[in-house]
Amino acid sequence: MKKILLLIVPLLLTACAHAEQTVRVQLADGLKSAKIQTSGKVYIYTEGGKKYKVSKPETLHANLVAKDRLQIGALTAETPLIIEPTADVKITFEKNTYIGKLHLIPAGTTFSIVEYIDLEDYLLGVLPYEMSYSWPLEALKAQAVAARTYTHMQLKNAKADFDLYNDVRSQMYKGSGKVYDSVRQAVEGTHGQVLTYKGELFNTYYHANCGGGTDDAHIWTGSSASTIKPLQGASCKTDSHSKSYAWKAAIPGKSIDSFVNKNGLSGTVTKIKVQERTKTKRAVTLQFTTAKGSKVLSCAKFRLAVGASLLKSCKINSIGKDKGGFAFSGNGYGHGIGMCQDGAKGMAENGKTYKQILENYFPSSDLTTR
């Protein structure tokens, strides 16, 4: 592999202006090596050390050369290596492009990559992967506020080296190197706006399709405490246009058996029925029966075990035996808490503003600016 020789005269680090809010997004972990492409001038350095300039577009090869020891070109370090792009320069890693500083953090026999980026810029890389950029602007604005608020809540539970994952464990994020005009308008048009309840931020959950109505958050979070008003559920009459509104799924018997066997019930499942439903008919628990007996288990956990993209929601209408397993039918896509994205789109198409959309899905909440 070609090595980048970092021979330019080192520059002393200088204090830079603080961004409004910096977030740390983990892009990858468990790495032994990584290929990182730059579109122009970048600086590479360690925290508190000297900056080395790579002037032209390059492919940087990062390698763990010993325990807790990273190398890029001629530079090695046992502390995080930072790749800082200059203005208008983008960094590409695993086909996604980024504009923030990449911190390569050694952790024993592997390393992770964490991007440090301004929160508002981070949202530019979230919105088009959580909601289509082609959707109405008012729906995108509602998504921007929900995502921004959720991000602030995630910052309260930050890990030592990062704040957010780049996937559904936090929010989908594929970098802010490519920005759609509609997404920029939505983020800039709601700059700093978040939702609060009685002066406090709360988790502004969202999902693809609620199937005609959202539910109280306690069915998903498992909390026995009283749910705040904005998360107690809301009506939705504008999501039936989506192909996710109604679905059918064939779940293999081996997947179902594996789930129940891991949860204390042995044997082959012969019957499944909904044990408990919410007011919007979403299943909370399911009863599984084998020759060894019956057991009531969480529908949310069952859905994740067999595949959330297969069993699209727990709003189950029917369950029947099928060749090789069971056949399910239902409505909605996702956990059914907070904002229904398809519903937000429908409301926007019907002329509603982003504030009206948020008022509908998070009733009694307040729109404030941080």
Q: Which amino acid is at 259?
A: F
**For residue range 90-143, what is the model confidence (pLDDT) as tens digits?**
999 999 999 999 999 999 999 999 999 999 999 999 999 999 999 999 999 999
DSSP E strand stretches across 18-163: 22-31, 33-38, 42-46, 50-54, 59-66, 69-72, 75-77, 81-85, 91-93, 96-98, 101-107, 110-118
Which tokens sit at 120? 């508002």
Q: Please report, as a single letter, which amino acid is at residue 6.
A: L
Q: Decide if 170 contacts 178 (C-beta within 8 A).
A: no
C-alpha count within 13 angstroms, C-beta hemisphere, residue 299: 27
Query: What 8-state DSSP symbol labels residue 140?
Result: H
158 token code pair = 């930050």
Mean pLDDT score of the chain? 92
CB < 8 Å & 24+ apart, contacts of 151-158: 151/23, 151/119, 151/122, 151/123, 151/126, 152/194, 152/201, 152/370, 153/201, 153/202, 153/203, 153/204, 155/21, 155/23, 158/24
This prediction's pTM = 0.90
- State residue 355's pLDDT score: 98
Say yes or no to pLDDT of 219 above 90: no
| Amino acid letter, residue 208 | A
pLDDT digits (tens, 9 = 90+) for 23-75: 999 999 999 999 999 999 999 999 988 899 999 999 999 999 999 999 999 89
Tens digit of pLDDT for each residue in 276-327?
999 899 999 999 999 999 999 999 999 999 999 999 999 999 999 999 999 9
What percent of the chain lies above the pLDDT cut of 70? 93
